[in-house]
Amino acid sequence: MSLNVQGQRKPNQVNSPSNIKKPMISSLIFNCRAPINIPNSSQVSPQNSEQNLLKPIHSHKGSQVDVTNLTKLIKQNKSPTIEAFDSQNTQFSSSQQLQALFAKAKEITQNKQKPQIVKQQVQQIQTQSINQLKELFNDNLYCRNTFHFHFVVGIGGFGKVWKVEHKKTAQIYAMKEMSKALIITKKSVNSVMNERILLSQLKHPFLVNMNYAYQDRETLYLIMDYMSGGDLRYHIGRMRKFNEEQTRFFVACIFLSLEYVHDSKIIHRDIKPENLVLDNKGYVHLTDFGIARIMKLENSSDTSGTPGYMAPEVMYRQNHTYAADYYALGVIAYEFMLGRRPYVGRSRQEIRDQIMAKQVQIKKSEIPDNWSLEGADFINRLLQRKPQQRLGFNGSQEIRQHPWFLNFPWQKLSNFELVPPFLPNRTEDNFDQKQILIEDEENNELIQQNLLVLKDPTTQDLFQGYEFNVNQNQNKISSTTDQSSSSSSKHSRNFSQQIEKQQYFENGNK
């Protein structure tokens, strides 16, 4: 993902620590030699961004902005008027700099203000834009100078995941490197920013916690806890099935993370093996809060998640609660026991048809050797199609008090005092290197095809406030699982207000 002198991408070098992008700031916002992309709230989308390019309505002399003839040009221009570009409630809103520029132009036409005064004000706006890019450049330098890059350990939806080392503390982290071009093209700005906001307020031993976040002109960097044991999808592929002791331990770890998330009034909505990763000792941690939501009935009816793990009420766009996460937990436990998911289909519609056709139940004849009836009953009760009948619907205590967890040492698990029954291989890479190469090449091709979107001067505004430092965060939630309910309610209200204010929720995210 590095750039050469001409700004062209070098051939893909997946595991090379030298494959590091050097951000360029020579192409500045408000460079009058290039058209300015003005988003129209009724038309703009990543697909038609080129169609929204308007010709500049001002001339230039060198690096100075000449607005002497701006009034005359505006009057002659038959394109949409200045009023048409007023700020509206749209996901791709125009930047503050552009709004200020057009406000000054409007002021000329209405008040006949002297162009020379406006010229000075426009130059001030241009300087602010340059400073904004310099800040992004400095953030990138700080990020690159702070961490040593080891190698790529995975591929996400928007770029690589690196194993990095903090140069001063020698602490190992995982760094998600996400292309802004891919994020915008895949209409995932809300998802990425939503995850950043939630992670800044969450911290728990059984989560993959965020420690730092940076950005430059083309990329977001999310520095997370490093988990060297690989994800459960990788281990399911190798093991196919797990025994009852291993399954109970995995389920208990996942439950503790969900209990904390639910106490914080959040529904994860994407519980699946790919989002459950093991540390080097074998404990399971929950990650990926991209489509998580604050628990509110009025905005919990959209369809989000992964087919095969989605609860029936989510698939049918009904209001859903924390019980949707417990259904997904039941699917995973079923997969651990029998080596397959309860409902399998090539499409979402096929899975929906199967769910409508029958309620899956593990029969006594299907229970593997050395598995108990209590284990099968626990899974069956999690897989109930009606959420009101599902284990956990009335609270997390239903999980803890089920006979399958009779006398289970929850406190020792919380303190990491148990010996995990499944240990990841510490001498091997617990990820598929071949699959990483394939997915990285696909991402690089998409990035090349969609770099044009970054020329839109409003792009950086979409990621405003992404930076984060855990050492400077003053609003962390206590990492203990026995926090008071009043504290949880207070923090969850703060979550909801902060996210709603920045309009990062997107309905219908699939």
Domain ranges (residues) in the chain: 25-40+49-228+432-479, 232-414
CB atoms within 10 A of CB 191: 23
Q: What is the CA radius of gyration of the chain?
A: 26
- Helices 96-111 and 115-146, packing angle to 10 deg: 180
Cβ-Cβ contacts under 8 Å for 440 (sequence gap 6 or more): 12, 14, 152, 155, 160
How many angstroms separate the CA atoms of 451 and 7, rounded?
Answer: 11
For residue 381, the one-letter residue type is R
Q: Which CATH class is domain 25-40+49-228+432-479?
A: alpha beta
Q: Which residues contact 22 (CB under 8 A, 6 or more apart)?
A: 2, 3
Per-residue pLDDT, 255: 98
pLDDT of residue 304: 76
Residue 114 has pLDDT above 70, yes or no: no
Q: What is the pLDDT of residues 210-219, one digit of tens each?
A: 999 988 888 8
Please report where in the chains the tokens 């408000």 appear, as a residue: 30
- Would you say 492 and 484 are in contact if contact means Cβ atoms under 8 Å apart? no
Average pLDDT over residues 44-71: 42
Largest Cα–Cα distance in the chain?
A: 88
Specify which residues 80 forms β-bridges with. none
- If one compares 313 and 447, the residue with the highest pLDDT of the two is 313
Q: Tell me the percentage of the chain whose pLDDT exceeds 70.
A: 57
The helix (run of H) or strand (run of E) holding residue 108 is helix 96-111
The answer to whether the beta carbons of residues 288 and 275 sit under 8 Å apart is: yes
Inform me whether the pLDDT recorded for 70 exceeds 60.
Answer: no
70 token code pair: 């701006």
The residue written with tokens 């790529």 in the block is 152
50 vs 181, residue with greater confidence: 181
Distance, in Å, from the CA atom of 456 to the CA atom of 92, rounded to the nearest integer, reads 11
Q: What is the pLDDT of residue 39?
A: 42
Is 358 one of the annotated binding-site residues?
A: no
Residues 6+ apart with CB under 8 A from 61: none
Mean predicted lDDT score pLDDT of the chain: 73
CA distances from 68 to 37, 113, 338, 469, 504 (A): 22, 11, 75, 45, 40
* Residue found under tokens 């609860």: 311
Which amino acid is it at 210?
M
Fold annotation for 232-414: Transferase(Phosphotransferase); domain 1 (1.10.510)
Active site residues: 270
Contact between 123 and 407 under an 8 Å Cβ cutoff? The reply is: no
Rounded CA gap, 461 and 136, in Å?
12
Do 203 and 247 form a contact (C-beta atoms < 8 A)?
A: no
Sign of CA dihedral 122, 124, 128, 133: positive
The 10s digit of each residue's pLDDT in 95-107 is 455 555 556 555 6
pLDDT in tens, 254-267: 999 999 999 999 99
- pLDDT at residue 384 in the model: 96
Measure the CA–CA gap between 41 and 29, rounded to whole angstroms: 20
Residue 352 burial (CB < 10 Å; 0-12/13-18/19+)?
Answer: middle
175 with 169: CB under 8 angstroms?
no
CA distance 507 to 303: 8
Q: Is the pLDDT of residue 309 over 90?
A: yes
- C-alpha distances in Å from residue 478, one per residue of 201, 276, 369, 483: 9, 22, 42, 7
pLDDT-above-90 percentage for the chain: 38
The two structure tokens encoding residue 345: 């289909």
CB atoms within 10 A of CB 145: 9
pLDDT band at 306 (very low <50, low <70, confident <90, very high): confident
Q: What is the pLDDT of residue 199?
A: 93
Q: Is the pLDDT of residue 22 over 80?
A: no
Question: Which of the four pLDDT bands, split at 50, 70 and 90, describes residue 410?
Answer: very high
